[in-house]
Structure 1
Amino acid sequence: MRRARPLHRWVGVPLTVLIVLSSVTGILLGWKKQFAVLQPPVQRGASLDARDWLPLHQISAAAEAALHARLGEPPGPIDRLDVRPSKGVAKVLFRDGFWEAQVDLSTARVLSVDRRASDFIETLHDGSLFGEGGRVTVSTLLGLGLLLLSMSGLWLWWGPRLTRRRT
């Protein structure tokens, strides 16, 4: 039992930074759809009928042109297209700068261009801000640290009760 207290302290104190960061970013990610500052609200396109929709290369070209106009320079590569059939829009997400352009699927009209703070928050939350190695390191440290803290904390709480019960 005497070894559990310093172990608990030496794991807990440095791990507190990761726990607080993970907790705060997790809360923000849980609320991202409630606040436009975290993630732009989904717009509504002119038609929900997929037969009216334009090809994705036209949608992505419209998004690239709109972001180019906004930034004054060519945008980086597109990371992904998130098609929302129930809204008639595609969210075009860019790899650099956490930018998003929402484009009407039937007219290719750009409905909004904005940053996605939630994507930055997610990279902090999962450690991927520091690359794939950082993501693996952060999740491993956090997981092992919380496991050790749980076990040593349980022992610090339960150990004295066992000792008293035996005597």
Structure 2
Amino acid sequence: MFRKAHRITGATLFIFFFIIAGTGLLLGWKKNTGDLLGSKTYNGTTTELTEWLPLSQLQLKAETYLKNSVPVGSELQLDRIDIRQNKGVAKFIYNDYYGIQIDGATGTLLHVDRRRADFIENMHDASLLDDHLNTGGYIKLAYTTIMSLSLLLFTITGFWLWYGPKRMRKGVHQ
């Protein structure tokens, strides 16, 4: 019974485990890949928030910089703003995996990049499908539930496939 459950689950979900393992490995290494997967956070001129421009001005500057930096036809939709006060920088992250880093005090462009790690993360947890099909998070929820329960099943059945024969051999020798 355990061997069959282990084999059927493994064969059915092989490609998904392969994707999770590959993307998980990349995400684990992203801080050690230089700018290949994740970009470093640049430093602004001051960490004192009272000296920063208003967020609305920083956002307008980010959109201007982005329009001048990305291919024509890309849809610019702000996903989130990441404030790094200790670095003096505001990061504007857009839905097409573009990121802009701006000096919080001067509004000067510090860096523009393609956020590959965000794409890999969305692949890792199936958010990519949710976003593409506009399902409101249900694919991600189903995917993570199925994969987590499958991993739990693999752990239990794998342990039993290893431990069962040991237990039987001990019983035979007594």
Does the TM-score normalized on the shorter chain lie above 0.5?
yes
Alignment correspondent of 2:36: 37
Query: Per-residue displacement from partner, 1:101-141 (whole Å, max 9, x unpaired)?
Result: 00000101111111100000000111111111221122112
Alignment correspondent of 2:113: 114
Query: Per-residue displacement from partner, 1:72-94 (whole Å, max 9, x unpaired)?
Result: 35742211110111110000011
Alignment correspondent of 2:85: 85
On the 8 A contact 1:68/1:75 being kept in 2, the answer is no
**Residue 152 (str. 1) matches residue 164 (str. 2):** no
Q: 1:49 to 1:74 in 2, by over 3 A?
A: same
* Residue pairs, 1:41-56, within 5 angstroms: 41-56=40-55
Instruction: Extract unaligned runs of 5+ from structure 1.
Output: none
Q: 1:36 to 1:11 in 2, by over 3 A?
A: same
RMSD: 1.6
Query: Which deviates more, 55-64 or 145-154?
Result: 145-154
Alignment correspondent of 1:100: 99
* Residue pairs, 1:16-27, within 5 angstroms: 16-27=14-25
TM-score normalized by the length of structure 2: 0.87
Alignment correspondent of 2:59: 60
On the 8 A contact 1:67/1:75 being kept in 2, the answer is no
Could you tell me how far 1:37 is from its partner in structure 2?
A: 1.6
Alignment correspondent of 1:142: 147
